[in-house]
Every structure is written in C-alpha cells, then in structure tokens.
Chains A and B, each alone.
Chain A
C-alpha cells in the first residue's frame, strides 16, 4: 500500500469523524461523567462558590427512587407492548395488500399512508388535539348524537390518544420499508407457488412473511427505541389535557429535571438510564426473535 493510500481514508472520514466526536462521543462522555458528579455549595448560602465531587451512584439511586420516573418507564413499556404490535400489524397488512395484484390505485394509497410521516410529531399532535378537544372535535359531536360520551384526554384514555398519533405518523413509514423488502422477493418464488396452487393466504404466510422478517425486526427495534424517547406528543398535548404531568414519559421527566429544577446531574443520570432501557429492550427483542428462528 502506498503512502498516498494510507492517508486518503482519513481525509475522507475527517469531517464525519470530527462532527461525530463533537455531537455524539463528547456529549455521551459528558453525560456519563456528570451523572456520577454532584455539585455542592460551599458556605451557608453557597456564597463561597460551588465544588463538583464524585458522587458514585447517588444520582442513579435518586432517579431509581423517584416514583414518577419509574412510573414513566412502566407507562412506556405498556405503551410499547400495545402500540408497536398494532402499528407493525397494520403496516404489514397494508404493505401486503398494496403489493397484491388485487389492489387498485396502489400509488395513491401508498402516498396517502406515507403522507403523515412528513408531518412533524408536534404538528401532528396539534392537528389531532383539535379532534380530541370537546367543543372543537367533530368526532365527539358525532358520538354524542348517538349517545356515546367520548373523552380522549382523560387519565385512562390519553395514553391511547397519544398511541393513535404515533401510529398515524409512523405506520406509513414502516409500511414503505416492508414494501421495499417485498419488492426484493424474486418473482420465481411467486411463480413456483402459483404452480403448486397456493392461495393468496398461503403466499402471504409461507413466502412473504418469512422473507420480510429482517424488515419487521429492524422496524420493530427502531419503534422500541422511539417509544422510549417519546416526548413531543405528550408535551404538546399536556396543554390541553390535565392527565399529562411533567413526568409522563421518561424524556419529559429528564427535561423537567434539567430545565425546571436545574438539576443537570440528576437529569444526566436519567438520560443514561433512558438510553440503557432502550438498549436492553431492543436487545431483549432481538434475542427473542433470534431464538424463535432456531
């Protein structure tokens, strides 16, 4: 290898690596560092300055002892157990229907389902909140005519109202990934199935589902990570629903701890715990799916 070739890859990678270092590695190290640090004020009123000292696991113990924070993680696990399977099922069914020869105008439907993905979570939430708020919502009005009283923003329903917004936003995106994988299935397989007299159901179960498994696993992992990060939807909806408190999701909790209480070290510990929870749940899911295939 010539000397010339030795430096080229580093020149090519330099901009990416510099930015990656600045916006990924340094903040992660800083977060881990400050999650193990506590700030102590010297003097009676802190007038003699502040000192940082090593706190061991004090911040983590504090986060784990915080009932509101733990409850928010539990809430997201419940949310994920219901919303992710519903969304993946819907995305898979839509992808298979759109790719089947029975579908009319597949281009139109694909665009219609994919459209919400381009609408930011905040704007999607503002949109849906209009359909959730009594007085504005034509859905609530229509249900009242039939004698059903709907409350989308109550303590027991608001979590599922958020789940609806998330499903609305991301189903089309997941569907597109599944469609991409469906398109890569060789035509000969369908040909062979037809020769063997397989029905549409059998084609879906025996050929399409097993072959789109990688896409399903991947989109599910990304959905799990996304669930743990839920922030914009509950934060925006909290202005119209009193059932959402400042610790409704783990991220909302970390945000409140950092900016409302100015407790950056405790917030750093919460941020690390959120990342860990996302990792653990993703890996647990990957292990589960790998075992099934053996």
Chain B
C-alpha cells in the first residue's frame, strides 16, 4: 500500500526500519518484523546500509510483502548505474512494491568493500526524476515502456539538524521539484532544531516523517556525535543516559528519551520513522509511550 495514501487520509504515519543481514537466511528478521512491527504502517528495508554488503533490499521487500507487511524499498545510487536502477524499479513494480525511498547512498570508502567502484551515475534527485519518467511510460533513454506504467509513492530523505541546514533545505526543494512526495529525516535529538527546520520545510507542502533512533548507550551517542553527519546528541541527554546504568542498559531510558522527542515534535510533522538498529522489540513500547498507537 502506498504510504502517500495514509498521509492523504490525515493519518500520523509510522514507519520503522529493518537492516537485512549479510547472508540469505532472513527468517529470523522476518519473524521479528511480524512480531514487533505489525502496528507500523510501513517498513523501510535498507539498501546495503553504510556501504556494507548484505542481501538485497528488493528481495527482502518481496519477502516482507509476502508475509503481509508493507515494505518501503530503499534504493541507493551507489551500486547501480541508471540501467540497473530503472530495471530494479520495474522489478519492484512487478512484485507490487510501490513505496520507494530514493537515496544517493554512502560512499563505498566508508563501508566494508572500500576498494569497490562508487557508481553515483544518478543521485537521489535524478533518481526521483527517473521514477516520474517511468510513471509516464518512458525510460531515461527516451524509450517507451511496454504496457501500463508503474506507480510509486516516491520518498526522499533530509537532514534537519545538519550544521548546514540552509543547503539541506535547498536540496529538499530540488527533491520536491524532481518528484518527492514525502520525506523521512535523519535522526533528531534536538527537537528545537527540528521545529525550526519545519517552519522552513512546510512551504514545500510535503509530509515529513521525524527520524528517531532509540539511544542505546552513552558510547553509541558519542560515536554518532563524532562520526554521523547531521546528528548531535545534547549533553543533557548523555547525562540522562549516565544517571542509571541498569535502566539505560535495559533500554528504558532510551525509549523514554525517544518518546519525549516524538511527543515534542509531533505537532510539527506528519509522521515518525524509527530506526531501531536491532531494537525492534522496543518499538511497541515506544509507540505506546509516545502516545501514537
């Protein structure tokens, strides 16, 4: 089901994320998704996230769909040229996967195959443009598609707490112009920055889903602060995580923090996207504490 339909109905849309494993035994992942993610509206399947080679996003999307879940096919431009990207979009259409998230993708040098050729034939913007063309029954070579054209709910990402937020807004504008229909954001730990960002972003009239990572530990937050673009966990949150080590270890503090961020930001956005990084089992409790489900 297209996630855009839910926005149209005025729903506060919830998506979560699963990271496929390095191998083809995904039974455990699918069981975990069925168990913990049955109440979310859609599930992102990452595409060799962080440039680490894993089983393909499309195959996992198809498996989740067969299990009765609603996948979002993350499609990155790092590993495929325009022929492969267009071809995979048609394959997605064949499987009835109609939610696609267009990503440029991390650089190959940051992953576990640093010697690989970085492709970037297209980028997130031109990939959105490509999806629009396919929807009109044309490919990038100017050729006609055979039969009825595919239709996608076309998503994109934006980084609202980036230290260059003006440039991010400009890129967001380009993505909207290229056909983006909704946005998922980088993880937010500073609600005031997100709210300020949304004051600007609302001019584009596209639904924005607040990105959430459940903070697992002080070490994880420090790592993100030092290494992940667009993420800055404030000292006050680090202190909260330090206060009761057992509570933090059990995930209680992290869920409390995440729920609070969602409650504060909810009036300013149209949905929430939870990147649980292995803590799928915490999602039902988080949604409850955030007063969403």
Q: Do A and B come from one complex?
A: no
Interface, chain A (partner B; CB < 8 A) = none
* Chain B residues engaging chain A, CB cutoff 8 angstroms: none
